[in-house]
Chains A and B, each alone.
Chain A
Amino acid sequence: DVKVTQSSRYLVKRTGEKVFLECVQDMDHENMFWYRQDPGLGLRLIYFSYDVKMKEKGDIPEGYSVSREKKERFSLILESASTNQTSMYLCASSLFGTRVGYTFGSGTRLTVV
């Protein structure tokens, strides 16, 4: 069964900490995405990558960075976590140009205290 795996389901971090959210897919997909989900706002795109070492900003990249050193892994980095980054984070992947949409991970609920 093909999968997108996010390393943590729940995470609690302190303000100012550097936070890494990891995402791994086993489908050889070119594209990978990080979304943030907040009530009433839906899913908003933070960053995406369409190839190894390539990245593009989404709609809300401020306060985040990403890393894609290998095709299967896409990391989201909060350089200095703040309370307004408390949210649900969803990773997804897809083939280039696919008509079938994305495959999603099951999300990481991050709380910054």
Chain B
Amino acid sequence: AQTVTQSQPEMSVQEAETVTLSCTYDTSESDYYLFWYKQPPSRQMILVIRQEAYKQQNATENRFSVNFQKAAKSFSLKISDSQLGDAAMYFCAYRRRETSGSRLTFGEGTQLTVNP
């Protein structure tokens, strides 16, 4: 079974600085997707960024980028130029590729605080 681990329950960052959230996963599959979701106080889960395992290039979405290390099974999220609106719970998630009923497996979450 796949597992996802986020070892940092809480992180904080100063506004305009950079922060990295860690995630490791365990799987025997070779083809899969990895995701970072953001959950602000509104509780609405928002997809931040996605990485396809067969792509070696790290995904980037504006101020958000990932460091995907497939051999190490590591998938960290870097937030640059942090803004107050980035404060939220962040979840790392894993999904097998192209199977019926393919499910997302989530990590425990990291609560990010952004200090003004």
Give A residues with C-beta under 8 Å from B: 31, 33, 35, 40-45, 48-50, 56, 58, 88, 90, 92, 96-97, 99-102, 104, 106-107
Contacts and interface: CB of A to CB of B under 8 A. Distances in A.
Is the contact region of chain B dominated by helix, strand, or loop, or is it mixed?
loop
Interface in B1-60: 4, 6, 9, 33, 35, 37, 42-45, 47, 50, 52
Contact of A106 (B44, B52, B93, B106): B44
A97 B99 contact: yes
Given A40-B108, A42-B91, A97 B102 contact: yes
B52 A99 contact: yes
Interface size class of B (residues with CB under 8 A): 20 to 34
Contacts of B47: 100-101
Contact of B45 (A41, A50, A90, A97): A90
A31 B50 CA distance: 19
B44 A104 contact: yes
A102 B108 contact: no
Contacts of A58: 103
Contacts of B95: 101
A48 B44 contact: no
Contacts of A44: 106
B61 interface: no
A41 B108 CA distance: 5
B107 A104 contact: no
B43 to A, nearest CB: 4
23 contacts: A33-B103, A35-B106, A40-B9, A40-B108, A40-B109, A42-B6, A42-B106, A42-B108, A42-B109, A43-B91, A43-B106, A45-B103, A49-B101, A50-B100, A56-B101, A90-B45, A92-B45, A97-B100, A101-B33, A101-B35, A101-B95, A104-B44, A107-B43
B48 to A, nearest CB: 10
Contacts of B109: 40, 42
A80 B97 CA distance: 36
